[in-house]
Amino acid sequence: MSFAQDARIVSRELGRYYRQSVRGARPVIRQPPIEELVDGLELRKLATEGGMRGKKLTRFLRRYLDSTTRLHHPAYLAHQVAVPHPAGALASMIDGFTNNAMAIYEMGPAAAAIEFFVINWMLEKVGWVPAPSPRQLAEGPAHGGGVLTHGGSLANLTALLAARGRLVPETWNDGAPADLALLAPAESHYSVARAAGIMGMGRRAIYELPVDAAGRIVPDRLGEVFQRVKDDGRRPFALVANACSTAVGLYDPLQEVAQACRQQAVWLHVDGAHGAGALVSPRLRGLLSGIALADSVVWDAHKLMRAPTLCTAVLVRDARTLDAAFQQEASYLFHDKEQPGFDFIHRTVECTKAGLGLRFFAVLAALGERGLADYVERQFALAAEAYRYISAQPGFECAVEPQANILCFRTAGSDAEQLAIRNALISRGSFYLSTAEWNGRRYLRISFMNPSTTMREIAALIQQIRDLGPATGQPPAGQPPAGQPPAGQPPAGQPGV
């Protein structure tokens, strides 16, 4: 059995899976107990016998796909993980097959060239000067730079290391100074606090920024925080702003925040893991107005850019700051050599690094910039329409008017009820939502990632929630209206739509 034959099996089964998912013909989520899966997938038998090809491969794949969470299902509304464009999925396969660990140029020239191109493309979208040809990197005026990492969490750590390196370049020799401060709003992604911890900073070194009722930074009050940091005898090495925030998807006012940072000579890091994708749209990029004044930006292509997991860019306005972020040497990798390209290894925590750029580039090349912008605009518009619809429903409220494609809403019931609603929908397999805590209350949370989700699913979702319980003024739990199964039981026919 050849690779080509097995690849045909995989392609046929994935095609079938995709059609089922998009039609909503299977539950969006199904979570059998793990022991049942280990047995059902015959993992021990396959591992012992080997030979998973042909019919064995088909059987395994069908069982495997049957217990996946179906991101292509229009009722997939949970997390900010891209519903991958098929071109990106094929790119992942090409990368897996060639396995060019391209952190050093000689281990993947084509992949390194794509990463170089993708970074420059993103730098231009931010409004920064792209890097010249790799062989002229050390010459000429300052320009931007970047690297692709395996995810936004690692990217935030990388950017903050670059920020600290600018203020205290001797850290790698002397260890982390005890008097540094990191400034960030409470709405920041947890990976920011985690990065600070990894960098040797305790929680007390993180200063929460003043925010408005919606959780956005209030630039006029930044002076108070800078003063407090100073009074505490600390040096601020970076300020983090969200574009957009994880829980409710709001953008901080970057222009004003950047001006305040410049006055204090503090590094501004923009966490655009989710929301930097709006930069591709001429209509939406105003949400990030002022981003070019930042020092670093993180941008996940595996969120709004429809690239498969993972592909994140760490971008810096001045490439030298990222080049100085790491100072370790490895004699088997770093030495004089014929260098017709560019080694990214100096800019990243990682040593072996996948050819991540292809995952995003393939999507970009399939859709074109305009196609990608259309997708982002559609998802943002859908969130706005869902907000208007849900806000008008008796017994429902939304946290804030969305700016991006994230919408938080809740019923009039308790926090526990919101979790119970999510659990019931998940156990039916009819809708898959996440939840988030915002302003001390638990909300149901939708990320509109799926290009096949429409207002039809949103109307069906609200109806199903009504049918679940008394808090919305609808039939009590356990007495669903005709045609609806009780919570926890799979619905007849098509779930979710």
Ligand X SMILES: Cc1ncc(COP(=O)(O)O)c(C=O)c1O
Can you give the binding site for ligand X, defined by CB under 6 A?
A: 80, 151-153, 156, 189, 191, 242, 246, 271, 273-274, 300, 312
Beta carbons within 8 Å of 191's beta carbon, 6+ residues apart: 152, 153, 156, 157
Nearer to ligand X by Cβ, of 153 and 379: the residue is: 153
- Rounded to 5 degrees, φ, ψ at 202 are -85, 170
For the bound state, the minimum distance from the C-beta of residue 251 to ligand X, rounded and expressed in Å, comes to 11
For the bound state, the minimum distance from the C-beta of residue 287 to ligand X, rounded and expressed in Å, comes to 14
Measured distance CA(482)–CA(462) in Å, rounded: 16
For the bound state, the minimum distance from the C-beta of residue 312 to ligand X, rounded and expressed in Å, comes to 6
Beta carbons within 8 Å of 465's beta carbon, 6+ residues apart: 396, 411, 421, 425, 472
For the bound state, the minimum distance from the C-beta of residue 126 to ligand X, rounded and expressed in Å, comes to 16
For the bound state, the minimum distance from the C-beta of residue 478 to ligand X, rounded and expressed in Å, comes to 36
Nearer to ligand X by Cβ, of 24 and 152: the residue is: 152
Nearer to ligand X by Cβ, of 191 and 321: the residue is: 191
Nearer to ligand X by Cβ, of 189 and 428: the residue is: 189
Nearer to ligand X by Cβ, of 229 and 248: the residue is: 248
Nearer to ligand X by Cβ, of 104 and 358: the residue is: 358
Question: Which tokens go with 447?
Answer: 């990320």
For the bound state, the minimum distance from the C-beta of residue 381 to ligand X, rounded and expressed in Å, comes to 21
User: Closest residue (Cβ) to ligand X?
Assistant: 152
Measured distance CA(299)–CA(146) in Å, rounded: 11
Secondary structure (3-state) at 447: strand
Measured distance CA(317)–CA(163) in Å, rounded: 12
For the bound state, the minimum distance from the C-beta of residue 358 to ligand X, rounded and expressed in Å, comes to 18
| Contacts made by residues 335-343, CB under 8 angstroms, sequence distance 24+ | 337/106, 339/105, 339/135, 340/105, 340/109, 340/135, 341/105, 341/106, 341/109, 341/112, 341/113, 341/116, 341/134, 341/135, 342/105, 342/112, 342/116, 342/134, 342/135, 342/137, 343/103, 343/104, 343/105, 343/112
Nearer to ligand X by Cβ, of 104 and 311: the residue is: 311
Measured distance CA(100)–CA(357) in Å, rounded: 12
